[in-house]
Chains A and B, each alone.
Chain A
Amino acid sequence: MQDLTTLQIKVQDPWKNPTDNGWDVIDGRTITDNRTLEADVIIVGSGAGGGVSAEILSQRGLKVIVLEAAKLKTSDQFNMDEGEAYRDLYQEGAMRATKDAGMTILQGRAVGGTTVVNWTSSFRTPHETLNFWRDQYAVEGLSRKELDPWFAAMEKRLNIEKWLMPPNANNDVLKRGCDALGWHTEVIPRNVSGCWNIGYCGMGCPTNAKQSMLVTTLPGALSSGATLIHSVQADTLIIEGDKVTGVNARPLKDDKTPTGASLTLKARAVITSGGSMQSPALLMRSNAPDPHGLVGTRTFLHPTNFAYGIFDKEIAPYYGAPQSMYSDEFVFKEGVDGPAGFKLEMMPMHPGLNTALVGGYGASAFDQAKRLPNLAGSIALLRDGFHEDSQGGKVELRDNGEPLLDYPVNEYLLEGTKRAHLTMLEMQFAAGAKEVRPGHAHAPYYKNWKEARAGVENLEYAPTITGLGSAHVMGGLTMGQDDSRCTVNSDGSYKHLSGLYVIDGSVFPTSLGVNPQLTIYGMSARNATRLAEKLMA
């Protein structure tokens, strides 16, 4: 039996004494007065978009303040405790869901954003997706050929390369199943350096091997004179006439409620990098002009469905690099804008996430929970946003200004889910699973592929009982030169206010069809560099 509990992890935390590094880091919880700070650029959010932008702008000599709502948590505190990770590093403590509870949303909330908790998969944006953006939304200058140098630069910066170690048993299920069926498989490129292959990417990397923003661009920006202010929530944009001149912000207590102090940040340019949901919500709270009512619309999730296989050998889905094999056999098989295509991957399974997804109640739920060591968890990420029946969700504000995503699960997604379930059931049986069940509240474990195929045909595919979730929140501030459908220009500038830039995944006009981090890095590097040139001119 695999057991890593005696493995000792001891690494240096670069954040141990930020002032010794010459870093200017302000803990918002220590602010008790009403304070005003000035910079050239305010960046709201420290994830993939904000981290990359902060490093590039700082290195060009611009004074940058990075504002982050989460409190600073770094490798010394990454103790691989699943509950503490959800509490401290995820939006809404990993309890975020769509408005009707149809889809669970795992999105990071950390200094370093979702890059601190993602599973390291790093793909360049598919040609098909970028061509669709160009053709449908008049996105300019972001063809794959034009983006490739930016991807290459970020791959070098974040040490992204195909995983060289053998896949863990969980990912090997995907490889063996797809190989047996003649389906495409490939090794996943990961942003790691000296990875220990232990499997805790989703809880904050304890070895600093993952090249998240926390250990790369944010230290880079701070070393170039940027200021990081954490535990402070951007409340509203300061809008004077048609220009954004700063941000009104509120320090937060540990329980995420305001301390009562306030912070005013003034700058020549403001970049929103809060990620989808947070960035549109900031514009909505600020009553930013939006003549076509587009802000917050077309928010996408890669609605992800699940299949659980039981093997007669140990899988230990909690250990080892969480994602190392994928299949694109079905991602564009039905065309770019046809029925939902899906990417096949595996997911790491720890006890909390596993039991929450598997569900049930009583004795049978505990029986399923105890099968974890022999369980393989496969996932299919549906591409949303390419078909007229797939318009995504809409961000709304709760009474207290927090974002909430209204994204009903419709027939388009349910049809794609059913096909993906069948695909994954077939794959897991082909890999030797003894029993497999789809992520569906009414589905039993099936004993063979024939029984599974017949069983799925009799399942009711309806919202909530069909298990769906997402770790990829995209869109909501659509980019493109088509002013009737887009709110952000291809260079990241907001169409209806000067001084405001959107540099994060919320500019995507559709979902991607791949895990989003590298797309955000590459596009952010390109648009932050252009902004730096503009501000330095």
Chain B
Amino acid sequence: MDQGINRRGFLKLGAAGSALLATGSSLALLTGCSSNTEGPAEGYRYFRQQDVELLTPLVGAVLGPALTAAGATAADGMKAYDDLLEGAMPGTRDTLFQLLDLMQLGAARWFLTGSWAHFAEQSEEQLQQTLADWSAKTNGIARMAFKGLTQPMFMAWYVKPAAAKSTGYPGPPMHVTA
């Protein structure tokens, strides 16, 4: 797709600001980049192929050594994120997908995270820097995107029994069906 069109479209987003993200009308939809009609990626129930490509490196960077401690990979963390979406309502998932569609655009990534590069094209060091820059952003939309994407990663991962144990939590009592 033509990066120029994306950038022009993206500038419109700047004007519409958080209203656009919040109302869920996605720039990516306007510019024809949305893949809402696409099915889930292979092995996933909800995330689409482009979401998996975008988010898996980010999951690896956000969860970091927590994955290693549980003998897991970024892909395991990404699968956990997908599991978390099972409980969500269709509208909850749509809102997340709209944000992810937006983040397929380099201009949006630059605006939200401070880096144009796709997460898969950043080294581990670069990703840690991107997270540092992103979490220090002062604009409200960037903060919303950071929290909206990373908060579920933690919940998704640490509810898994192996991950839960890595925090020092011994686990629940044994439930025996009477």
A331 to chain B, nearest CB (A): 29
Q: Which residue of B lies closest to A255 (CB)?
A: B86
User: A104 touching B151 by the CB < 8 A rule?
Assistant: yes
Segment with Cβ contacts to B, from A301-309, A363-371, A504-512 = A363-371
As a 0/1 sequence over residues 82 to 113 of chain B, the CB contacts with chain A under 8 angstroms (1 = contact) are 01111111111010000000000000000000
Contact pick for A80, options B89, B151, B172, CB 8 Å: B172
- In the complex, A373 Cα to B89 Cα: how many Å? 33
7 shortest A-B CB distances, which residue pairs? A93-B87, A83-B159, A80-B172, A87-B87, A352-B159, A7-B173, A355-B154
User: A80 touching B91 by the CB < 8 A rule?
Assistant: no
Segment with Cβ contacts to B, from A9-17, A42-50, A217-225, A242-250 = A9-17
Hey, which chain B residues are within 8 Å of A94, CB to CB? Answer: 87, 155
User: A372 touching B169 by the CB < 8 A rule?
Assistant: yes
Which residues of A are interface residues toward B (Cβ below 8 A)? 1-13, 76, 78-83, 86-88, 90-97, 99-102, 104, 198, 200, 206, 255-257, 318, 350-356, 358-363, 365-366, 369-373, 398-400, 402, 404, 406, 441, 462-465
A105 to chain B, nearest CB (A): 11
User: B89 touching A101 by the CB < 8 A rule?
Assistant: no
- Interface: B73 (CB within 8 A): no
- In the complex, A92 Cα to B144 Cα: how many Å? 18
- Interface: B34 (CB within 8 A): no
User: A463 touching B143 by the CB < 8 A rule?
Assistant: yes
- Interface: B160 (CB within 8 A): yes
User: B150 touching A359 by the CB < 8 A rule?
Assistant: yes
The residue in A97, A99, A355, A372 that gathers the most chain B C-beta atoms within 10 A of its C-beta is A355
Hey, which chain B residues are within 8 Å of A402, CB to CB? Answer: 89-92
Which residues of B are interface residues toward A (Cβ below 8 A)? 18, 22, 24, 61-66, 69, 83-92, 94, 128, 131, 135, 140, 143-144, 146-148, 150-152, 154-161, 163-164, 166-178
The residue in B135, B148, B159 that gathers the most chain A C-beta atoms within 10 A of its C-beta is B159
Hey, which chain A residues are within 8 Å of B163, CB to CB? Answer: 351
The residue in B65, B69, B157, B175 that gathers the most chain A C-beta atoms within 10 A of its C-beta is B175
- In the complex, A390 Cα to B63 Cα: how many Å? 37
Provide 20 A-B residue pairs closer than 8 Å at the C-beta atoms, listed in order of the A residue.
Answer: A6-B173, A8-B176, A12-B178, A76-B177, A83-B160, A87-B86, A88-B87, A93-B85, A93-B92, A102-B144, A351-B167, A352-B155, A356-B152, A362-B128, A362-B131, A369-B167, A398-B24, A400-B94, A463-B143, A464-B143
User: B151 touching A359 by the CB < 8 A rule?
Assistant: yes
The residue in A4, A353, A359 that gathers the most chain B C-beta atoms within 10 A of its C-beta is A359
User: B147 touching A101 by the CB < 8 A rule?
Assistant: yes
- In the complex, A90 Cα to B173 Cα: how many Å? 22
User: A257 touching B90 by the CB < 8 A rule?
Assistant: yes
Hey, which chain A residues are within 8 Å of B135, CB to CB? Answer: 360-361, 441
User: A372 touching B168 by the CB < 8 A rule?
Assistant: yes
User: B151 touching A9 by the CB < 8 A rule?
Assistant: no
The residue in A82, A256, A351 that gathers the most chain B C-beta atoms within 10 A of its C-beta is A351
User: A359 touching B147 by the CB < 8 A rule?
Assistant: yes
- In the complex, A87 Cα to B80 Cα: how many Å? 12
Hey, which chain B residues are within 8 Å of A11, CB to CB? Answer: 178
- In the complex, A313 Cα to B109 Cα: how many Å? 43
- In the complex, A356 Cα to B88 Cα: how many Å? 16
- In the complex, A511 Cα to B88 Cα: how many Å? 26
- In the complex, A80 Cα to B163 Cα: how many Å? 15
B95 to chain A, nearest CB (A): 8
Contact pick for B151, options A1, A81, A356, CB 8 Å: A356
